[in-house]
Amino acid sequence: MIAPDWFREDRLPHIYCTGCGNGTVINCTLGAVEEMGWKREETVFVSGIGCSSRAPGYILTDSLHTTHGRALAFATGVKMARPDLNVVVFTGDGDLAAIGGNHFIHACRRNVDMTVVCMNNHIYGMTGGQGSPTTPPGAISTTTPYGASEPAFDLAELAVAAGANYVARWTSYHVKELTKAVAAGMQTPGLAFIEVRTQCPTNYGRHNKLRRVSDMIEHLRSHAMLVEKRDRLVQEGKPVPDDIFTVGELVRRNRPAMGVKS
């Protein structure tokens, strides 16, 4: 249960659609913040543009709702100028991986000490469901009416390759694991990236034979494979289904980091 004093109650009702996964991700993140014992006046939430990026507007701390794709660059300025502040970024797949792709890899490379939570719903939700860089091949969206023809980005693997000190992936089904992962990311000096595969029933599920919220969550659950299990299958020479994605902790390491509180 999240302490109600972390929410801007005067902002309610929120803009999220019925069945949206973003509220779950916000709850898990604030659960992690509570576990960390952070104080409101020492914590800043930063975001870009999109459904995910409306989250800081509902949280009662200093919050910076910026321009599309640029959240990590703004957050870098905040954290480098005031390393004593805790900085958490909410972003989405379009915000982070399309328009903000360059800032994403450079923030990971710099390993700026902040926590980045990406609500990956495989779609541009705010604008009505257009294909994004994480739309799975074959999926229907308003701009991929014959099925997405481009390969999708694996955001977590991208963060690992670019140098983030902590990388994990979970889904909106895995609330306990997700909360623990966000907290572990917050404890790790350097950039922590947590990708959350989440449901957008309004603009994704509806077009992809996942009309009910429960269908979407079941789809996420049944296609998520623990990274350890995937590795075991590979080791044993057994086939790995090609429609799964890995979940779990992908990396936790100690590369030099920037903006760490001294």
Single-letter code of the amino acid located at 243: D
Query: Can you tell me which of 18, 81, 236, 262 binds another protein, judged by CB under 8 A?
Result: 81
User: Which one, of 196, 146, 219, lies nearest residue 28 by Cα?
Assistant: 196
161 binds another protein (CB under 8 A): no
Single-letter code of the amino acid located at 42: E
What separation, in Å, do the N-terminal and C-terminal C-alpha atoms of the chain show?
32
Between 118 and 140, CB nearer to another protein? 118
Between 56 and 205, CB nearer to another protein? 56
Whether the CA torsion 186, 117, 152, 103 is positive or negative: it is negative
Binding marks (x or -) toward another protein, 106..145, rule CB under 8 A?
x---------------------------------------
Task: Please say whether the beta carbons of 36 and 184 come within 8 A.
Answer: no
Binding segment for another protein (CB under 8 A), chosen from 71-79, 90-98, 138-146, 177-185, is 71-79
CB of 60 to another protein, least distance (A): 5
| 185 phi and psi angles, rounded to 5 deg | -65, -40
Binding marks (x or -) toward another protein, 31..70, rule CB under 8 A?
---------xxx-x-x---------xx--xxxxxxxx-xx
* Number of residues lying near another protein (CB under 8 A): 35
Rounded to the nearest 10 degrees, the angle between the axes of helix 22-36 and helix 175-187 is: 50
Between 111 and 144, CB nearer to another protein? 111
142: part of which helix (H) or strand (E)?
Answer: none
CA distance 48 to 202: 21
Between 8 and 252, CB nearer to another protein? 8
**CB-CB neighbours of 136 under 10 Å:** 17
Q: Summarize as ranges the residues that interact with another protein (CB under 8 A).
A: 8, 10-11, 40-42, 44, 46, 56-57, 60-67, 69-70, 73-82, 84-85, 102-103, 106
